[in-house]
Amino acid sequence: MKILFIGDIVGRAGRGILKDAFRYLNLRSKYDFIIANAENAAGGFGITNKVLDELLQLQIDCFTMGNHTFDKKEAEQVLLNDRVIRPANLPPGVVGAGYGIFNSRSGKVAVVNLLGRIFMQPVDCPFRSFDSLYNLMKRESNVIIVDFHAEATSEKNALGYYLDGRASAVIGTHTHVPTDDCKILPNKTAYVTDVGMTGSSAGIIGFKKDSIIQKFLTCIPKKFEVDFEEPQLQAVAVEIDEATGMARSIERVFYPGKNCCEKES
Ligand code: FE2
């Protein structure tokens, strides 16, 4: 089974380059299952119904989220769509599903989204949250993909090894900076600390440089605006033996695009 995992889509620049990549790289025909992190898809923060509709036209199979899941007031409605999952380690009773079982061209796929706890808002333990869901997912599918949305590389490394042999792939998201450590762990789990992002590679993590630099210089909160220069798609392709759920390979996928100067909405 060939799976493509697309890094955090940041605003209109990210959505634009994503559409180009689907067209020019013929992504839909190359992969059995496509996952994208969409927590920054609407103006850099959260997701709206309109943006979800736009992304659904690309026939992406599953959208994962993160710490910005609830930034837009429509989030609760968006989470009713069964292709969208939110982090599983939020308190009980929160709207939406923390994992999903999906159909692909090569059989079923379980996807679970987890939030890290280091340098982030407090949430339940991601390690134990996976443990509590593992049997439920394994009953349905041998292929289990984890989006670990976290800041600290150490926490991501640790979850990778903790899930080695149980998850098919542990893919890090959130930092928007791709790491050069795609590997297959000893018990055949594919791993990368951070897949990167789909958005402007000229700004600071997808946003215009000036407001972020000013925030660091003054310690005064600033409104961050999505950047449009040099958009790029950053993703990883994972090949999995669907009979066992174990990974065969993981490699990077990049798609650089032209400048896009449209105004963000
Ligand atoms: Fe995030």
Domain harbouring 136, CATH code = 3.60.21.10
Compute, in angstroms, the gap from residue 149 CA to the centroid of ligand 1: 6
Is the model's pLDDT at 260 over the cut of 90? no
Query: CB count, 10 Å around CB of 139?
Result: 9
Residue 190 belongs to some domain of the structure: yes
Tally of structural domains, the chain = 1
Does residue 94 sit within a domain? yes
Range of the domain at 242: 2-255
Q: Does the pLDDT value for residue 55 go beyond 90?
A: yes
Identify whether 262 is part of a domain: no
pTM, entire model:
0.95
Distance 105 CA to ligand 1 centre (A): 29
Residue 128's pLDDT is what? Answer: 98
Note whether residue 23 is domain-resident: yes
* Cα separations in angstroms, 201 against 17, 102, 231, 263: 11, 31, 6, 17
Q: Is residue 193 part of a domain?
A: yes
Q: For residue range 131-160, what is the model confidence (pLDDT) as tens digits?
A: 999 999 999 999 999 999 999 999 999 999
Per annotation, catalytic residue among 68, 149, 174, 176: 68
Check whether 75 has a pLDDT greater than 90: yes
Q: Report if residue 265 sits inside a domain.
A: no
Ligand 1 mean position, distance from CA 6 (Å): 14
**Which one-letter DSSP state was computed for residue 7?**
-
Which 3-state string (H, E, C) describes 146-200?
A: EEEECCCHHHHHHHHHHCECCECEEEEECCCCCCCCCEECCCCCEEECCCCEEEE
Question: Largest Cα–Cα distance in the chain?
Answer: 55
pLDDT of residue 257: 65
Q: Is residue 264 part of a domain?
A: no
Average pLDDT, the chain: 95
For residue 258, the model assigns a pLDDT of 54
Task: Give residue-wise pLDDT tens across range 14-53.
Answer: 999 999 999 999 999 999 999 999 999 999 999 999 999 9
pLDDT tens for residues 81-99? 999 999 999 999 999 999 9
Q: Is 129 exposed, middle or buried (0-12, 13-18, 19+ CB in 10 A)?
A: buried
For 201-256, write each residue's pLDDT tens digit. 999 999 999 989 999 999 998 889 999 999 999 999 999 999 999 999 999 999 98
Quick check: is 68 catalytic? yes
pLDDT at 222: 84
Interatomic CA distance for residues 120 and 67, integer angstroms: 8
- How far, in Å, from the CA of 146 to the mean position of ligand 1? 15
d(CA 208, CA 230): 12
For residue 265, the model assigns a pLDDT of 38
Spatial distance between the Cα atoms of 84 and 77, rounded to a whole number of angstroms: 11
- Ligand 1 geometric centre to CA of 243 (Å): 33
